[in-house]
Structure 1
Amino acid sequence: MKISTVIIFTALVANLGIIPFSYAEPSVEIIMEKTTYSYCEKLFYTIKVSEVTGNPAIIHIRDETGKGSSAIPIPITDLENPIPSRVAFEKEIFPLGKYFIDVNYSGAQTTAEFTLIDADKVCIPEVVKPIMANWLSGNISDGFLIDAFQKFTEEENIFKIPFDINETSVYDITIPEWVKNVGYWWLEGAINDDELVNAINNLIERNIISLSQDKKDEI
């Protein structure tokens, strides 16, 4: 009688899926937004997991030579976790070529790759964005914004500024208040770098952004 009871109990437990017991390692996958990027673009990918274990995903990004980032812990709170980069690819930091994203999550590992190319796009360095924000807030003058455009893109020569900017003239450059809308659009991502450059150059060419008339006469 006792033996029969044990057999029946064992069968019931097995039917409930409790016996046999095995541990399945969670899976992890990298879903790339795209596999080719160019300067000025921002890396975007999604980490997809089979279960949320409470552990972070550990990410390394490396180039073809093996040179890479330090370990980057990414909290995993959902089965699909979008990972947008906060900064764009810049020539001064990222050489052209192939890159790899290595992810380790609760013992599971995976790798994805992408290629960085030079598509000859107009690219304004990220350092200009806080300067633009300060100008929009009224913390710096019009001239300091134009000076930043010129200094930080001097090598590319994308802004066509026809007047010299020095310690004196920097205070004599005027930009109409309504032009700030263009700055807001750029910071919010409504227009890209190329569109901002075209807008500023057009305003300079039309003398909407200019030196004050008195200073022009002196020059």
Structure 2
Amino acid sequence: MNSIPIELRILLLSIMVSFAMGVFVVSDVFAENAEFKIPDWVKKVAGLWHDDRIGDNTFLQTIKWLIENEIIILPTTDTEDKSSNEVPAWVKNNAGWWANDQIDDKTFLNGIQYLIEVGLIQIDMSERGGVGGGGGY
């Protein structure tokens, strides 16, 4: 017969499950944070754009270059036909807030992904695994 009481077995099993879940949660958090490392100079460019010191086209071309060169990594994104040639004000506001550390990288990148979805940024990733290499958030 087994000499370990059932209560102790349940307690040990609970501790092991809790530990395993903790390891997965912690490793997932570190993986998430690692995906959002954008060079500091990109924030300066976003701030210049928000302050109208560079134009929409310059900013969009900069972001396009960063994505095509896998400096910014986004998941594969389906694009639509352009419904407008203008960048929505909320995306530009997000850029300013991001440049001033008022929102996180993921929120800023959601705006960039929207610009790709509506066709304002057109990425040629035919040789790679999707927009920004298929990694992303």
TM-score (norm 1): 0.32
Say which structure is richer in strand.
1
Select the structure of larger CA radius of gyration: 1
Say which structure is richer in helix.
2
TM-score (norm 2): 0.47
